[in-house]
Amino acid sequence: MEELERLAVELSNAKVAEAKAKETRIECETEICKLVETEDVGSKTVQAGERMKITVKRGISYKPDMEALLELRDIKLPIISTPEETVVVPAHDDFDKKLYEKMLKDPPMGFAKVLDCITVNMLKPSVTIKLV
């Protein structure tokens, strides 16, 4: 029983240390992200001292309402699925992120209806450290 109690105490202590380490990691990542500026989407690598490189990556996620997009395809808006025009919602019902981003830069007529079907969220920035 003494061994079981010792292991339980050791496990409890390890869980407390792990929670503190996670909190410290998140605080450090947050501060690094403030210091290493990037665009909303992209990455930047900077030297941190002589032996480390830090890369901060930021991104965007798109959550399409496929049911609403499919309805748009069904009513044949100019930007939806015809042989000679751009396809936003292909026949196999997948969301084409790259095409969507391209169309954001030069929106075709009626694209506002597509925008209403997409929820855009900023991803949590990621921080990686590489020893060099």
pLDDT in tens, the chain (132 residues): 799 999 999 999 999 999 999 999 999 999 999 999 998 899 999 999 999 999 999 999 888 888 887 777 666 554 444 444 444 554 455 677 887 888 888 877 777 888 888 899 999 999 999 998
131, containing H or E segment: strand 126-131
pTM over 0.75: no
In angstroms, how far is the first alpha carbon of the chain from the final one?
Answer: 48
Boundaries of every domain in the chain:
2-59+123-131, 66-116
